[in-house]
A and B are shown apart, each in its own frame.
Chain A
Amino acid sequence: MHKEADIRIPLILGDKTYHDITEDVCAPAEGKANKLWYMAFTFAAIVAFWGICCIIYTIGRGIGVWGLNNTVGWAWDITNFVWWVGIGHAGTLISAVLLLFRQRWRMAINRSAEAMTIFAVMMAAVFPGIHMGRIWVGYWVFPLPNAFGSLWVNFNSPLLWDVFAISTYFSVGLVFWYVGLLPDFATIRDRAVKPVYKTVYGILSFGWTGDVKAWIRFEEVSLVLAGIATPLVFSVHSIVSMDFATSVIPGWHTTIFPPYFVAGAIFSGFAMVQTLMLTLRKVVGLESYIHVKHVEYMNIIIIITGSVVGVAYITELFISWYSGVEYEGYAFMNRATGPYWWAYAIMMSCNVLSPQIFWFKSLRTNLTFTFFMSIIVNIGMWFERFVIIVTSLHRDYMPSSWEMFHPTFVDVGIYIGTIGIFFVLFLLYARTFPVLALNELKSILKIAGEAQKERNKDTNTSTPSNDKL
């Protein structure tokens, strides 16, 4: 039997029963949406529609409608791609790595974080897709036998590794998420009154029976998938970083990129989880399950990863001088003091300095402040990618070809549009899915519920076990 120390903060507040958990989690999927949901959905759908129009315009006219020029051949497209892939890192980290570390607090947030991951990876995939120009031949990124002569993918290219890494990540993430959903879909199915719902959730739950054998297999599969997903947390963003680091462009070619990108991805992913969860817990009334302690844990991860990213920034800056390589030194000098100094300043202040504020317990346990900070981090991480990509390119070896990048309305529209599509998907998810792993959550109620913990304390004192040693 698991023991939990008395000083650990309860993970489920109040005196909840198993039935309460079912009721609380199923309520949003079973009830009717409120006005706020419809308003948010309408707004997100309008933004998404604008984005889709811009995407169609791009496909129709070609990528000349973006602000790219000869010198800056990669800008917002790849920035947005890396930003979204990065956001998609927290879900797998929470569900896989925290599972392996036996962090029980993950159960309150893993479901939605994984949903976020899947939607974020879908948004990321939009950008390389439309950047190809001829999206109808997008399947050429796969090494398929073909009748077009010497047409074949370039296995030396990190862009191809990206295709493999991200599609693997997406598939495993989806399977992991779905396997976790099976028992919870079954709970909704069993409670459904209308036959339509019963059939739909019945199909979705794959005929889950809930007997002991099913649970044993469920746990085994979760563990195996966690084992597979953990290296993927590392591999995906490492390979994304290699899109840059395998080149010989000053500012891009540096060995710290893979682990530093992974840390940055977790950092931005947790910021997005905070943004979503702080809203979700209020809207669907799950304050007992996702409370201050959960937010504090996530804020601590934000300080750690933010600081790791900070160490990496400073390492890069220092080594660019230490290396004695003129071009490397200039690339960093230009980042910090050149015409894009403001982007560098935003990156540094949002990603490295601002998370340090979470050293104060009163601030990292303040939900409003956390929400504000999560937005700041999201902005900072977007600028990090912008700084890496655009400031390394815009002043190349030949001063006569130095250029600035000016985004067009299409660049802006597609970026904002993917945020709209993302929220449309997430809002639909929040209405139809069990947003918490309710059956898993029940497994910790007896040891980590507030009232239950109090009651355990009383029994513990009657049979002291501390002096056994």
Chain B
Amino acid sequence: MDQFEFTSSHKKFTFGLMGIGLLALMWAVYCIMGSEGADHHAASARLWSNLLICGFFFIGISVAALFFLAVQHAAEAGWATMFNRVFEATSSYLYVGSGILVAVLFFGGHDLYHWMHADAVAHDDLLAHKSDYLNPTFFWIRTLIYLGVWIFFMRLFRKLSLEEDEIGGTKIHFRNQKYAAIFLVFFGYSSSTASWDWIMSIDAHWFSTLFGWYVFSGMWISSLVFMTLLIIWLKGKGYLPKVNENHIHDMGKWIFGVSCLWTYLWFSQFMLIWYANIPEEIVYFKARFDDYKVLYFGMIIVNFVFPFFGLMDKDNKRSIGWVGTIGVIIFITHWFDVYMMVTPGVMKDHWHFGGIEIGLFLGFLGLFLFIVLNALSKAPLIVKNHPFLDECIHLEQN
């Protein structure tokens, strides 16, 4: 069982999800076609904001997987070596994800970003001030650089990993370490600026220095949860026989820790803005507080309380049932985190939550699973010849 088999029933399942997504997409397009005036505008804004939410949520998961892989390389970590292929497969969505995100930004930019309207910028001093940074040309240059460099490193790590399977030795290990450090530096900047460009600029007047790190922690936790669920699923199918509760324990610790990090960053941003209560900052939370109260605070409470209390206990972190259940719950509620970043800025108080949102999420999930599982089936499920493989197999918690 060292080769994952992407069976036709798996494929059917992902196609089914994609079919639901396609139906939701068609329904959304029908709503746009069949409406006029303000309704027409709202329907098209709803579609584009949902496409951005899902496009960003899933590309965030895949780039955070690349980040996590790079951290393992750079930190000489040995506990997760058996998961390297899972990390690589999750990051392989970057190709398709980039294509989708570029399309969404290109065709939907006008509906999503106020600053992309030349006439709005002309009548808005603040937008005019920001236009040195927030202008379509520079925006596209930046977007393409982020995506291009991320894809470059994703390919590089994958290539080196497959090469190591063949030739062994320690040379590739040390090269990985070096490249990982370079990627982490680039990611350190680009994760912040990308979230300013794609997300923060929706609320074009608003600004927060912490925003980039907050968004990054959200990507990271979603990615960890996804990869843990994938590992649990593979284990349930009889793959990864050497993975035991010690490895699940470590993934559980990461989920616990990064959930706390996410909450800490959310709280830092919220508390400082709430406390100072100055108009140019508080608008952001006022919109969420007035029109989305239950959804917004519900999302935060679930994202903190479930992993915090559910995974605090050692035995729970070692239990596939606990980690899996909490993983599924917070995977969904972290999608709501992205939903709450995008929707209030685009839809204001005219928001809806229904079939289009759920359908598009499922559709994206199907596509994402298809690509990840497909990549997973293309190489042996566990790396060979990695110098830390033996350490990982004999991992023991103390």
Contacts and interface: CB of A to CB of B under 8 A. Distances in A.
A238 B213 CA distance: 15
Nearest to A311: B188
B273 A255 contact: yes
A15 to B, nearest CB: 24
Nearest to B382: A469
Contact of A255 (B170, B210, B242): B210
A8 B76 contact: yes
A246 B211 CA distance: 17
Contacts of B141: none
Given A246-B275, A259-B213, A323-B207, 19 more contacts: A2-B394, A2-B396, A102-B398, A234-B264, A242-B272, A246-B272, A248-B278, A253-B276, A255-B210, A255-B273, A256-B213, A307-B185, A315-B209, A315-B212, A319-B208, A322-B130, A324-B130, A468-B393, A469-B384
B126 A324 contact: yes
Given A255-B269, A322-B207, A323-B207, A7 B173 contact: yes
Nearest to A103: B75
A391 B8 CA distance: 66
Nearest to B274: A246
A8 B77 CA distance: 11
A245 interface: yes
Interface in B66-91: 76, 78-79
A247 interface: yes
B390 A3 contact: yes
Contacts of B185: 307
A248 B275 CA distance: 9
B59 to A, nearest CB: 21
A311 B192 contact: yes
B396 A308 contact: no
Nearest to A8: B76
Interface in B81-139: 125-126, 129-130, 133
B92 to A, nearest CB: 23
Contacts of A231: 260
**B interface, over-half SS:** helix
Interface in A68-117: 100, 102
Interface string A398-418: 000000000000000000000
A4 interface: yes
9 contacts: A2-B396, A6-B387, A8-B76, A102-B79, A255-B209, A255-B210, A258-B264, A466-B390, A468-B393
Interface in A1-60: 1-8
Tell which of A245, A256, A259 has the most Cβ of chain B within 10 Å: A256
A257 interface: yes
A5 B390 contact: yes
B389 interface: yes
A468 B125 CA distance: 67
B394 A3 contact: yes
Interface in A276-320: 307-308, 311-312, 315-316, 319
A5 B79 CA distance: 11
A323 B130 CA distance: 8
Tell which of A255, A312, A316, A465 has the most Cβ of chain B within 10 Å: A255
A323 B276 contact: no
Bin chain A's interface residue count. Answer: 35 or more
B265 A254 contact: no
A323 B394 contact: no
Contacts of A466: 385, 389-390
B391 interface: yes
Contact of B280 (A5, A102, A315, A323): A323
Contact of A5 (B78, B126, B273, B396): B78
A3 B391 contact: yes
A5 B387 contact: yes
Interface of B: 2, 76, 78-79, 125-126, 129-130, 133, 170, 173, 185, 188-189, 192, 207-213, 242, 253, 260, 264-265, 268-269, 271-273, 275-276, 278, 280, 382, 384-385, 387-391, 393-394, 396, 398
B387 A255 contact: no
Contacts of B207: 319, 322-323
A257 to B, nearest CB: 7
B389 A259 contact: no
Interface of A: 1-8, 100, 102, 219, 231, 234, 238, 242, 245-248, 253-259, 307-308, 311-312, 315-316, 319, 322-325, 465-466, 468-469
A86 B210 CA distance: 20
A5 B273 CA distance: 48
Contacts of B391: 3-5
Tell which of B130, B207, B264, B278 has the most Cβ of chain A within 10 Å: B207
B147 to A, nearest CB: 20
A323 to B, nearest CB: 4
Contacts of B76: 8
Contacts of A4: 391
B72 to A, nearest CB: 12
Contacts of A100: 253
Contacts of B125: 324
Q: Which 5 residue pairs spanning A and B have beta carbons closest together? A: A256-B209, A255-B210, A3-B394, A258-B268, A323-B207
A324 B390 contact: no
B210 A322 contact: no
Given A6-B387, A324-B130, A315 B272 contact: no
A231 B208 CA distance: 24
Contact of A254 (B170, B209, B390, B396): B209
A234 B185 CA distance: 23
Contact of B170 (A7, A319, A469): A7
B272 A253 contact: yes
Nearest to B201: A322
Contacts of B269: 255
Given A2-B396, A231-B260, A245 B272 contact: yes
Contacts of B388: 5
Given A1-B394, A322-B133, A324-B130, A257 B192 contact: no
A258 B242 CA distance: 41
Given A2-B394, A6-B387, A259 B210 contact: yes
A6 B391 CA distance: 10
Contacts of A308: 188
Given A8-B76, A307-B188, A259 B394 contact: no
A259 B129 CA distance: 29
Contacts of A6: 387
Contacts of A259: 210, 213, 264-265, 268
B207 to A, nearest CB: 4
A259 B213 CA distance: 9
B280 A247 contact: no
Contacts of B280: 323, 325
A468 B384 CA distance: 11
Nearest to B133: A322
Nearest to B132: A321
Contact of B189 (A1, A2, A256, A311): A311
Contacts of A469: 2, 242, 382, 384, 389, 393
A376 B192 CA distance: 28
B271 to A, nearest CB: 8
